[in-house]
Homo-oligomer: A and B are copies of this chain.
Amino acid sequence: MVSEGEFILKNPVWCPGCGHYAVLTALRRAVVKANLKPEEIVLVTGIGCSSRFTDFFRSYGFHGVHGRALPAAIGIKMANPRLKVIVASGDGDTYAIGMSHFIHAARRNIGITHIVMNNQVYGLTKGQYSPTSVRGFISSTSPKGNLEKPIDGVLLALSAGATYIARGFSGNLDQLIRLIEGGLRHKGYALIDVLSPCVTFNKLNTYEWFKRNILDIEQINHNPSNRLEAFKMILTSSKILIGLIYQSTEETFEDLMMSSIGGVPIDANISLGENNYENLIKEITSI
């Protein structure tokens, strides 16, 4: 079995106390638990403090552009579904500029483990409010308080048809490892929205604040396979729910695709024989 050390590339350079440290640790432990090897994993990130993951986690890596980690990851997964494709991104990356791809990845149920480090702020650009910032949040672009109603990534994922939806907290490492491992083992799109405090630019949603404002759904009576129930829990809870909120079994996009083409694209023989060639020309020219 591989050890955690094999997934260490270099030491992260986040601010001391940043929530992202715990997420990195959790991911390293979860891949070990899920029995994955560094070269079988492609870690895909966007841009943000959270997306610096690819500089610290040892595996194949793809550090693309802001908001577009998911479509790049989909391309990788479709090309070779045997790879374990993980996306690590931020709340700005995912729910602002990347919102559309997020909804579409969820509805497609593509086999990607998606960790969103949700610190309710834009860290890397130095502290602007994000789509998950609460009303009234003070930031460099909301000096008198944010006027926009925050979105809830978990609720949106549920509405869009995602099949594994969890929320973790950087202050709760054991559960976080478990939730990520669950996502890695899940067939289909898995969202793990992680409350990961930005100690530098978010002075409101701190570790202490979260400790007071979260409720672990796993501690109460909740059946994660009931979708309506999951909606109700989210809509009626006065606290932020953490834990596994919803999971169901549905065919994945890659399975449907692969069965429609009868194989895996990366295995395809890319040179056509004469026969195929003649057929293809006949078909394409038969307008």
Known interface pairs A100-B100, A108-B148, A147-B260; A232-B228 also in contact (CB < 8 Å): yes
Q: Chain B residues with Cβ under 8 A from A253's Cβ?
A: 147-148
Measured CA separation A108–B99 after assembly (Å):
15
- Name the residue of chain B whose CB is nearest to the CB of A103: B99
- Name the residue of chain B whose CB is nearest to the CB of A152: B159
**Interface flags, A245-261, vs B, CB<8A=1, else 0:** 00000100100110010
Q: Chain B residues with Cβ under 8 A from A96's Cβ?
A: 100, 104
| A188 to B: closest C-beta gap in Å | 11
- Name the residue of chain B whose CB is nearest to the CB of A95: B103
Judged by DSSP, the binding face of A is helix
| A248 to B: closest C-beta gap in Å | 12
Contact residues of A between 91 and 125, Cβ < 8 Å to B: 96-100, 103-104, 107-109
Q: Chain B residues with Cβ under 8 A from A159's Cβ?
A: 152, 155-156, 158-159
Does any Cβ of B come within 8 Å of A186's Cβ?
A: no
State the copy count for this chain.
Answer: 2
Q: Chain B residues with Cβ under 8 A from A260's Cβ?
A: 144, 147
- Name the residue of chain B whose CB is nearest to the CB of A250: B149
From the candidates B131, B156, B227, name the one contacting A156 in the complex (CB within 8 A): B156
| A244 to B: closest C-beta gap in Å | 19
* 14 A-B interface contacts by CB (under 8 A): A97-B100, A99-B99, A99-B104, A103-B156, A107-B131, A108-B148, A108-B149, A109-B149, A147-B257, A151-B161, A152-B159, A227-B235, A231-B231, A231-B235
